[in-house]
């Protein structure tokens, strides 16, 4: 089991460029999440999905879009990158039911927007 994987690990963008971050999980989890982590801010939820074909906004959704076409994949898109989106992005996944609300995290993508 690879768990949760993220690609790429690092990326540098220029303001206005677009990119897609890919998250994949092999644990058959229903729920998937995208967070950003900034110094002193903890983990802030961007978007999440409770199942294939569904997405919902989190705490800081502006400037991001997501898609969940397959259960195992969750994509995070930046259409027009801004310096304020420089951050470390983490994907996580979890089962739906009380079996666990425990989220399992990927290793992160470090994004710099210049």
Partner 1 sequence: GQQLNQSPQSMFIQEGEDVSMNCTSSSIFNTWLWYKQEPGEGPVLLIALYKAGELTSNGRLTAQFGITRKDSFLNISASIPSDVGIYFCAGQLMNRDDKIIFGKGTRLHILP
Q: Is the dihedral of CA 105, 10, 38, 56 positive or negative?
A: negative
Q: Is 112 in the site for partner 1 (CB under 8 A)?
A: no
Binder of partner 1 out of 8, 50, 79, 112 (CB under 8 A) = 50
Query: Is 70 within 8 Å of 51 (Cβ atoms)?
Result: no
| Phi/psi of residue 89, nearest 5 degrees | -105, 130
Q: Which is nearer to partner 1, 11 or 44 (CB)?
A: 44
Q: Does residue 61 interact with partner 1 by CB under 8 A?
A: no
- Tell me whether the omega of the peptide bond preceding residue 8 falls within 30 degrees of 0, making it cis: yes
Interacting residue ranges for partner 1, rule: CB under 8 A? 4, 31, 33, 40-45, 48, 50, 56, 58-59, 90, 92, 96, 98, 100-108
């Amino acid at each position: 089991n690879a768990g949760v994987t993220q690609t790429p690990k690092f990326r540098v963008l220029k303001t206005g460029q677009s990119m897609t971050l890919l998250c994949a999980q092999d644990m058959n989890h229903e729920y998937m999440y995208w967070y950003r982590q900034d110094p002193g801010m903890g983990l802030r939820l961007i978007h999440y999905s409770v199942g294939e074909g569904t997405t919902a906004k989190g705490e800081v959704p502006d400037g991001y879009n997501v898609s969940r076409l397959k259960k195992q994949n969750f994509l995070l898109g930046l259409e027009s990158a801004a310096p304020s989106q420089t951050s470390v992005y983490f994907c996580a996944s979890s089962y739906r039911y009380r079996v666990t609300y425990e989220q399992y995290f990927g290793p992160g993508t470090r994004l710099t927007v210049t």
